[in-house]
């Protein structure tokens, strides 16, 4: 019997060329053309995370937004962390979580600040009444053509956002998380196939892989699993807000096997799996969602 819902995966989402659309960092999904699909209309839940309590950093847009929406539709209460400049996008996510009858917590602040990272975790635990899913996803990506252009300030901001915050948030959260909990980090294909214009970003993404693999070995002694999702080119606000040059944004994802970038919602099922008890024997793994590029 044929499945009449089957569709060619190369053609289900927009392909480049895309319009010119520069934004100032950190960027807003609502200003992108075409608007990314985070699962607002397309993700359907099935109760796989009923009663769970999740904190997702960078939950206002992109991959974090897709994870937050999916978690809520699978039955979880969700706290999202984001920069205050991203309030408009964050409010949309809160509304989507609450539309599922789930509790939502909106936590605005800068994860480059250690004190805020620790306060963020405390507020999430308090607002949700506990924590058993931790998605550390917030990221900074700003391209620089030459090593001479990559300032110490740039390097510092990227490492603090992508790596230091990972450590601070995990360190604060783990004591609150019971056995059976899950930690999920977001790395990148850049950890394995780094672009010359993303020296600092690629370095942090490789660091996230190593950190999470080491953390997984520690945490399994407490019954907590930790895994990594490594996306390839995904259509998020990171790209037009300085993550890539304009010409690369215009043709973003063209060199994937699909001839298009991934959409955030296409990563959501992987986050749901890794958060769920169905992944009870999965630990310290890197799940690539790279459009055929592979992680090796």
Pairing of strands 286-289, 77-82: unpaired
Q: Nearest Cα to 20, choosing from 254, 235, 247, 243?
A: 247
What does the buried/exposed string (b/e) look like for 85-96 if buried means 16 or more CB atoms within 10 Å of the residue's CB? Answer: bbeebbebbbeb
Cβ atoms 81, 105 nearer than 8 A: no
Helix, strand, coil content of the chain in percent (nearest 5): 40, 15, 45
Cβ atoms 92, 99 nearer than 8 A: no
Check 82, 201, 211, 287 and give the catalytic one: 201
Tell me if residue 201 is catalytic: yes
Length of the chain: 296
Active-site positions read 201
């Amino acid at each position: 019997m044929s499945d009449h819902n089957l569709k060619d995966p190369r053609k289900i989402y927009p392909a480049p060329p895309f319009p010119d659309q520069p934004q100032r960092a950190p960027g807003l999904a609502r200003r992108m053309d075409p608007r990314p699909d985070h699962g607002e209309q397309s993700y359907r839940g099935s109760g796989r995370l009923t009663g769970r309590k999740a904190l997702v950093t960078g939950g206002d847009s992109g991959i974090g937004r897709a994870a937050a929406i999916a978690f809520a539709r699978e039955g979880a209460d969700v706290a999202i962390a984001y920069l205050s400049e991203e309030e408009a996008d964050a409010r949309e996510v809160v509304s989507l979580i609450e539309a599922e009858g789930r509790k939502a917590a909106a936590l605005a602040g800068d994860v480059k600040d250690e004190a805020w990272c620790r306060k963020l975790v405390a507020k999430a635990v308090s607002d949700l009444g506990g924590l058993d899913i931790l998605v550390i996803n917030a990221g900074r990506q700003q391209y620089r053509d030459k090593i001479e252009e990559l300032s110490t300030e740039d390097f510092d901001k990227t490492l603090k956002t992508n790596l230091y915050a990972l450590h601070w948030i995990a360190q604060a959260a783990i004591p609150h998380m019971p056995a059976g909990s899950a930690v999920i980090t977001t790395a990148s294909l850049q950890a394995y196939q780094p672009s010359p214009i993303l020296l600092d970003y690629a370095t942090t993404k490789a660091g996230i892989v190593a950190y999470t693999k080491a953390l997984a070995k520690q945490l399994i002694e407490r019954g907590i699993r930790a895994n990594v999702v490594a996306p390839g080119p995904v259509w998020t606000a990171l790209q037009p807000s300085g993550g890539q040059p304009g010409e690369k944004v215009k043709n973003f994802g063209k060199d994937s096997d699909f001839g298009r970038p991934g959409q955030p919602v296409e990563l959501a099922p992987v986050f749901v799996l890794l958060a769920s008890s169905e992944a009870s024997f999965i630990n310290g793994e890197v799940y690539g969602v790279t459009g055929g590029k592979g992680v090796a």
